[in-house]
């Protein structure tokens, strides 16, 4: 990763703040047995957005910082680095996938593919797996809701990313 400018640090800091607010305050959290079982919200979007627009390293940084700071501001259960890894991968994977396309233009379907691969790996597979291994929550109880949620989130995130990216390209052109 090349040296980060102050302007880029500020942009990523804003995305970290959005991630924390949308995850910890602007979402519905359902707990059980001292751990958070379900979180309904849009907290992952700023992490994905950072990975898509600023690169996989930036997406990983936003995910890591947002998860660690957010946990200590509003914990729901013990701190588990497994979920910090998942938060980092939420930004890294879409950035890596979108970077594999030869043409830099972000079309809706490229975004759906990039976001979809990342969300299936992190939200649909890794989070239920870690919930099972760490807290003995059966995967069969958490996966159906996550699959349905991602069927809504993935195209929504792709659409919102495309709209914001077009607006930013006009502003910064």
8 A C-beta contact, residue 28 and residue 40: yes
What percent of the chain stands above pLDDT 70?
Answer: 92
11 found inside a domain: yes
Q: For position 76, what pLDDT does the model report?
A: 74
162 found inside a domain: yes
* pTM, two decimal places: 0.91
Q: Residues 6 or more apart from 50 whose CB is under 8 A from it?
A: 12, 15, 58, 59, 61, 62, 63, 91, 95
Number of domains in the chain: 1
DSSP secondary structure code for residue 2 in this structure: P
Residue 33 has pLDDT above 70, yes or no: no
1 found inside a domain: no
Give pLDDT tens digits for 2-29: 788 999 999 999 999 999 999 888 877 6
35 found inside a domain: yes
Q: Residues 6 or more apart from 26 whose CB is under 8 A from it?
A: 41, 42, 43
Domain coverage including residue 123: 6-171
Give pLDDT tens digits for 61-96: 999 999 999 999 988 778 999 999 999 999 999 999
96 found inside a domain: yes
């Amino acid at each position: 990763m090349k040296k980060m400018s102050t302007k880029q640090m500020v942009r990523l800091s804003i995305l970290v703040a959005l991630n924390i607010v949308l995850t910890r305050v602007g979402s519905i959290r359902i707990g059980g047995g001292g751990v958070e079982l379900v979180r309904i919200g849009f907290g992952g979007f700023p992490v994905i957005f950072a990975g898509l627009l600023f690169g996989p390293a930036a997406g990983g940084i936003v995910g890591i910082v947002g998860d660690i700071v957010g946990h200590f501001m509003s914990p729901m259960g013990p701190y588990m680095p497994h979920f910090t890894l998942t938060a980092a991968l939420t930004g890294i994977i879409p950035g890596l996938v979108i970077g594999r396309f030869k043409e830099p233009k972000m079309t809706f379907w490229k975004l759906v593919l990039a976001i979809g691969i990342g969300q299936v790996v992190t939200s649909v597979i890794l989070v239920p797996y870690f919930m099972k291994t760490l807290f003995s929550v059966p995967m069969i109880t958490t996966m159906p809701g996550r699959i349905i949620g991602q069927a809504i989130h993935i195209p929504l995130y792709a659409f919102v990313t495309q709209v914001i990216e077009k607006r930013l390209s006009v502003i910064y052109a």
